[in-house]
Amino acid sequence: MSSIIPATQLRLRFAKALSRMYRQEVPRYATLERLVDHVNNRSNANLPLPDIPRHGAVRLACLAELKVASRFFNVMGMKSVGHYDLSAAGLPVHATAFRPITQEGLSVAPFRLFVSVLRPELLTLELQPLARSLLSKRGPVFSQRAIDLVSQAETQGGLTASEADEFVQGGCDTLAWRNQISLTKKEYDALKADKNGDLLIDIMAFRNPHLNHLTPATANIDAVQQGMASYGLEPKDRVEGPPERNCNVLLRQTSFLAVDEGIVFDGETDKGTRGSHSARFGEVEQRGAALTPKGRAKYDEAMDKAKRSHLLESNMQPAFKALLDNALPDNWETLKDEGLIWVKYSLTEKAKEQGTSSGATTLQQAVEDGLVSWEPIQYEDFLPLSAAGIFQSNLHHDSALDINDSIPQDSLSESKRQLRGVLGEEGMVDEMKLYEEQQTASVKACWAFYHGVRTLVDYSKWVPEQLQESGDVKVADKIPIEPTVANPYSHLDDVQTCYLDEQDTVPLPDVLSYPGIPAYLPAPYFGGYEELGLVPNQCWERFGRLGPYGYSYSKSEGGFELEALPSAEPKLDKMIRKIDYNDINWDKVQKKCLEKNRERFGLDQEALDKPAGALSRLWSQAEKMAGGKKRLPRHALVLRAWTGIEWSPMRIITTRSLISELSLKTGGQYDVHILMHVTDDSINISDQATATKMVHDNIPEEFWGITTPWSVPDMAEYYPGFTEDMTIENDSGKPLYSVYRVPHFALQWFAQHHPEYEFFWNWELDLRYTGHYYEFFEAAGKWSDRQPRKYLWERNERYWIPGLHGRWENFVELVEKETKASNYPSPWGPIINDGVVDPTTYPPTTMDQDNYEWGVGEAADLITLNPLFDPDKNAWCLRYDITGYNTTVPPRRTSIITIGRFSRRLLQAMHEEASRNKHTMFPEMFPGSIALHHGLKAVYIPHPVYFDRRWPLDRLDSVFNHAETPETSVYYFPFTPGTGEANFQTASYYYSTEFGAPLWHRWLGNEDSGLGGAELEKETGRMCLRGMLIHPVKQDLEADKPIGAT
């Protein structure tokens, strides 16, 4: 298959093609470009990509057109940002901007489109019937081929070069000028008579939308304004936006006035009649600094005063500037210090030379010491008032007369509701959030999550970064604390030692940790170590953690030789036992280990010799061992893989560590399996030879014996009878049997064939844990055992923030208090739901009589790593992907990311729901919902979650536990894509985090986005992190690591 064209390049091609087209359509625009080039050259302006416009504008007739257009723009990486209601200017339109939202996207191709849509309900009562009639006759604005290309890009992740050419041409054809008017002359005159006549004609009279303007960028917009007349262009009366200052902010815009263009009526009654229309023009923009919410409030207040005092006229600019300077001081340092502008920070050359030896302990001190520089972040969006002014100047309006002081709140809310309905929950991204993320990312790049092993301190002396006030980071000449062997197995005194070879001569590897914490390492905001039973006073660096599995030593010794251990650490080198993994057969090793330890699990040799499918009766009979001792339950760790997956060295190392630490060191308490999805549905893996070949072709040889292949056709045969019409809403658009919608079918099927396990961990290959796997898994299990059922569902749906809530006991009391105050019913036992299999657990007493006793000591049927929330309380986009419930919406619980532990009892209930009742739901919703229906015990584990920035604790609680806005809470619920969910981008664990993978890469000593690497590690040593889950890590960078780096 041909290579895919990146979205940024596609957007760049589109912008250049539109520019070529518009020059031909509106020759005065080409003249404007020459003027702008002249001014920029004289100003020595350093504007990137001067040959493409910065933005354009399009007017659409209805929301249906916007829905298709948004898909078209999304293919080019242009996301809907901001909401603009222009009804305050007397214009019956609202708008959003489609633009790139990443810094890379803005630097490569900064083109964006301001897209406005008619609001017919704001027209006069006399015009509304005509508008409805005209809108009902409009056909699709994009060709079918263009729509097909959009669908193709959405499916395959982009377009090839030839497809991109078609796509760009299709977009230009859609927005090209056509002078045929589809109205009758009578209809045209009726629209023309309205005060917004030119606008209404521009939107409704033509069969297709067209470009209304394109906008090059300049560094001196006043010079362009003054030079238009000499170039034969008639400028509008004034520059829109703030006045020229030393410190320009936001956006300044001007244009030449709309040109008269000939039109022809092509309807039957008036065919051939000619006329003229003026709505298209050329605009210029000059962008300044982005204002923070505080700065924007001051700007808006100043603009409001200026409007009321008539200071926006061109002859009143000095008074306008004085008013604005009073609100926003015309000094960059003051603007920064008062928090009025967003700022990008970066390390100076001095900082790169000195590293952390400078002693700077705060960002401001680093700036003062010359270690960090800063610059204002450029404003990338639009101003409603300026947009209205541009509209009005080119639609024969007196803009000063039509602009109202404010937009009625009901109109604003209705506008957002309409646009949200077609743009979805990810539409109209809050621009302030984007600027905040950019500023915070720059701070992160300069500051430390990244202190290394030479800054280790004893746990009793550790101060989290959140509580740091002052004080130097002391960097020792050598690592001040010695590494130790991590041993969470001291209580397993009955385990028979297992080995890696048949002759019992190759001992299992030991992993190493440091009993200390780097100075000022941040504390996790969610969850905690002590409460879960995790060792709080240790951290892990990459050699001690990964070295024993082949990370650091040479290939000739059986390792991967990804990075040589520093020669200055001979003790660490001696402690890392080099094991040749080339001939390891993990299947045989696991089975031999279990055979040695069968008595721990109540097994005899006869049971071990039987196939898995014949074990069910033996397991039930062996529930208790001799002497009445309850047998130790066994666990399966199920790694989800697929054909075509790249088995990087880090994925192999991770899998080895899971097997060694969970299975072999525990004497078989866990087994590690790989459940491999054969993605080609045409391959018949019921044929054993074919199945074996698929495993051998896609899985490293050392893991062949622990791999079980499965396919979608197999699951459709195992769980027959599901049809698409049984689903309430399929928002994803994926087939019902696809791995996207029912990956749990494969886990249920796997459990049916493995009755020897009581618990099944569903695990992903893009999940990393910096600590010890057995310590984490056992802590999760034992902690969940201790949790009482009372108000458990309510605790499950919240994050425990120790810095705010205090001890766990305090959090439990708080949740009870909040739940009682909410009057929201608390689940207690099974939820009786039509068609559900009879539940197996009932509470022994009422909730009022229970004293947090029911459930204590009971193993959890479901353990999740994210909160279990009620999707009916929010706008989670897949909440109605419910199948087989006769269109009735049952009570449900959802936990984002399907990683977690499932009991056999839960998987059996899920199996019977699917096979008997034809019930299923989206995979992140089905397990929690079935646990709710059946009265099973479900527990969210408050594992440590870190953020790359400081959060005010009350704000953190508000955003993640009590999200509310004046409009509606659902769109800002923390798990709502595009709005509330964006806050997880800065967390260490979530499916869309942008912090986790870079943190992992830098922990490995790699550079990520130009940050980190060997040079920075020379200052404080290798990073040493406490045990934390990091997800997702889609790409491992260890192949780029030079041998010998330290």
Tens of pLDDT, residue by residue over 205-254, are 898 899 999 999 998 999 999 999 999 999 988 888 888 899 999 999 99
Q: How far apart, in Å, are the Cα atoms of 117 and each of 21, 83, 105, 418, 540?
A: 23, 12, 26, 10, 55
3-class secondary-structure state, position 1011: strand
Confidence of residue 605 (pLDDT cuts 50, 70, 90): low
If we measure between CA atoms, which residue out of 493, 496, 774, 483 comes closest to residue 657? 774
Residue 401: per-residue pLDDT:
37
Which burial class, exposed, middle or buried, applies to 480 when counting CB atoms under 10 A from its CB (0-12, 13-18, 19+)? Answer: middle
In a domain, 209, yes or no: yes
Specify whether the CB–CB gap between 982 and 994 falls below 8 A: no
Residue 400: per-residue pLDDT:
39
Residue 359: per-residue pLDDT:
46
Mean pLDDT, residues 747-776 taken together = 97
Mean pLDDT, residues 951-980 taken together = 68
Specify whether the CB–CB gap between 339 and 292 falls below 8 A: yes
Confidence of residue 390 (pLDDT cuts 50, 70, 90): low
The residues, any chain, with a CB within 8 Å of residue 209's CB and separated by 6 or more, are: 58, 59, 60, 61, 65, 141, 174, 175, 203
Residue 835: per-residue pLDDT:
54
In a domain, 42, yes or no: yes
Could you list the residue range(s) of the whole structural domain that residue 983 is in?
953-1036
If we measure between CA atoms, which residue out of 759, 664, 648 comes closest to residue 706? 664
In a domain, 260, yes or no: no
The token pair at 539 is: 């951290």
Cβ atoms within 10 Å of 728's Cβ, excluding its own = 17
Specify whether the CB–CB gap between 33 and 218 falls below 8 A: no
Residue 46: per-residue pLDDT:
61
Q: Please name every residue paired with 455 in a beta bridge, in sequence order, or none if there are none.
A: none
Cβ atoms within 10 Å of 629's Cβ, excluding its own = 9
Q: How far apart, in Å, are the Cα atoms of 887 and each of 726, 728, 925?
A: 8, 6, 16
Mean pLDDT, residues 86-105 taken together = 86
In a domain, 175, yes or no: yes
In a domain, 20, yes or no: yes
In the listed set 239, 271, 288, which residue is the last one of a domain according to the structure? 239
Helix segments in 526-565, DSSP class H = 529-532, 542-546
Residue 982: per-residue pLDDT:
77
Q: Is the peptide bond before 802 cis (omega within 30 degrees of 0)?
A: no
The token pair at 362 is: 């705060």
Confidence of residue 1 (pLDDT cuts 50, 70, 90): very low
Specify whether the CB–CB gap between 498 and 667 falls below 8 A: yes
1007 φ, ψ (degrees, to nearest 5): -80, 145
In a domain, 923, yes or no: no
Helix segments in 176-292, DSSP class H = 185-192, 197-204, 221-227
Element housing 689 (H / E): helix 688-698
Q: How far apart, in Å, are the Cα atoms of 569 and each of 343, 517, 572, 1021?
A: 41, 19, 6, 12
In a domain, 666, yes or no: no
Which range (25-29, 261-265, 457-461, 751-755) has the least confidence?
457-461
Which range (5-19, 167-181, 264-278, 640-654) has the least confidence?
264-278
Confidence of residue 319 (pLDDT cuts 50, 70, 90): confident
Q: How far apart, in Å, are the Cα atoms of 523 and each of 449, 459, 809?
A: 10, 12, 20
Q: Give the whole-angstrom CA distance, residue 434 versus residue 379.
A: 11
3-class secondary-structure state, position 259: strand
Residue 207: per-residue pLDDT:
86
Instruction: Catalogue the long-range contacts made by 528-531 (C-beta closer than 8 Å, 24 or more residues apart).
Output: 528/800, 528/802, 528/808, 528/942, 528/944, 529/944, 529/1026, 529/1027, 531/783, 531/802, 531/807, 531/808, 531/942
Where are the strands (E) in 915-1021, listed by range? 920-921, 938-940, 1007-1008, 1011-1012
Which range (591-595, 622-626, 708-712) has the least confidence?
622-626
Among 300-309, 742-751, 819-828, 993-1002, the range with the most confident prediction by mean pLDDT is 742-751
What letter represents residue 968's amino acid? Answer: T
The residues, any chain, with a CB within 8 Å of residue 165's CB and separated by 6 or more, are: none
Percent above pLDDT 90 for the chain: 56
Residue 612: per-residue pLDDT:
46
CATH of residue 47's domain is 3.10.180.80
Pairing type for strands 1007-1008 and 1011-1012 reads: antiparallel
What letter represents residue 998's amino acid? Answer: P
Tally the residues of the chain.
1046
3-class secondary-structure state, position 786: helix
Q: Give the whole-angstrom CA distance, residue 19 versus residue 16.
A: 5
Confidence of residue 772 (pLDDT cuts 50, 70, 90): very high
Q: How far apart, in Å, are the Cα atoms of 659 and each of 541, 561, 641, 779?
A: 20, 21, 16, 18
Which burial class, exposed, middle or buried, applies to 573 when counting CB atoms under 10 A from its CB (0-12, 13-18, 19+)? Answer: middle
Residue 361: per-residue pLDDT:
46
In a domain, 847, yes or no: no
The token pair at 1001 is: 């890469």
What letter represents residue 209's amino acid? Answer: P
Q: Please name every residue paired with 882 in a beta bridge, in sequence order, or none if there are none.
A: 921
In the listed set 239, 274, 293, which residue is the last one of a domain according to the structure? 239
What letter represents residue 194's amino acid? Answer: D
Greater model confidence, 616 or 707: 707
3-class secondary-structure state, position 315: helix
Q: Please name every residue paired with 1011 in a beta bridge, in sequence order, or none if there are none.
A: 1008
Cβ atoms within 10 Å of 719's Cβ, excluding its own = 18
Q: Give the whole-angstrom CA distance, residue 233 versus residue 259.
A: 10
Judge whether residue 818 has pLDDT over 70: yes
Q: How many CA atoms lie within 13 A of 36 on its CB side?
A: 28
Cβ atoms within 10 Å of 430's Cβ, excluding its own = 15
954-965: burial string, b at 16+ Cβ within 10 Å, e else: eebbebbbebee
Residue 808: per-residue pLDDT:
96
3-class secondary-structure state, position 874: coil
Q: pLDDT tens digit string along 875-919?
A: 788 999 999 998 678 999 999 999 999 999 999 999 999 999 999
Q: Give the whole-angstrom CA distance, residue 673 versus residue 763.
A: 10
Judge whether residue 964 has pLDDT over 80: no
Residue 626: per-residue pLDDT:
45
Q: Is the peptide bond before 536 cis (omega within 30 degrees of 0)?
A: no
Residue-averaged pLDDT of the chain: 86
Q: Give the whole-angstrom CA distance, residue 202 versus residue 209.
A: 8
Q: Give the whole-angstrom CA distance, residue 935 versus residue 862.
A: 11
Domains of the chain: total: 2
Q: What is the DSSP string of 73-127?
A: HHHTT-EEEEEEEGGGGT-SEEEEEEE--SHHHHHH---EEEEEEE-GGGS-TTT
Which burial class, exposed, middle or buried, applies to 463 when counting CB atoms under 10 A from its CB (0-12, 13-18, 19+)? Answer: middle
Q: pLDDT tens digit string along 49-60?
A: 556 898 999 999
Residue 475: per-residue pLDDT:
78
The token pair at 245 is: 């200052």
Q: pLDDT tens digit string along 346-369?
A: 777 776 555 433 444 456 767 887
Specify whether the CB–CB gap between 346 and 446 falls below 8 A: yes
Q: pLDDT tens digit string along 797-807?
A: 999 999 999 99
Judge whether residue 330 has pLDDT over 90: yes
What does DSSP assign to residue 341? B
Residue 439: per-residue pLDDT:
86
Judge whether residue 533 has pLDDT over 70: yes
Judge whether residue 994 has pLDDT over 70: yes
Q: How many CA atoms lie within 13 A of 294 on its CB side?
A: 10
What does DSSP assign to residue 894? B
Residue 197: per-residue pLDDT:
87
Confidence of residue 271 (pLDDT cuts 50, 70, 90): confident
Residue 622: per-residue pLDDT:
44
Q: Give the whole-angstrom CA distance, residue 160 versus residue 152.
A: 10
Q: Give the whole-angstrom CA distance, residue 336 versus residue 345.
A: 12
Q: Give the whole-angstrom CA distance, residue 281 versus residue 259.
A: 6
The token pair at 361 is: 């302990």
Percent above pLDDT 70 for the chain: 86
In the listed set 239, 269, 289, which residue is the last one of a domain according to the structure? 239
Q: Give the whole-angstrom CA distance, residue 132 versus residue 301.
A: 38
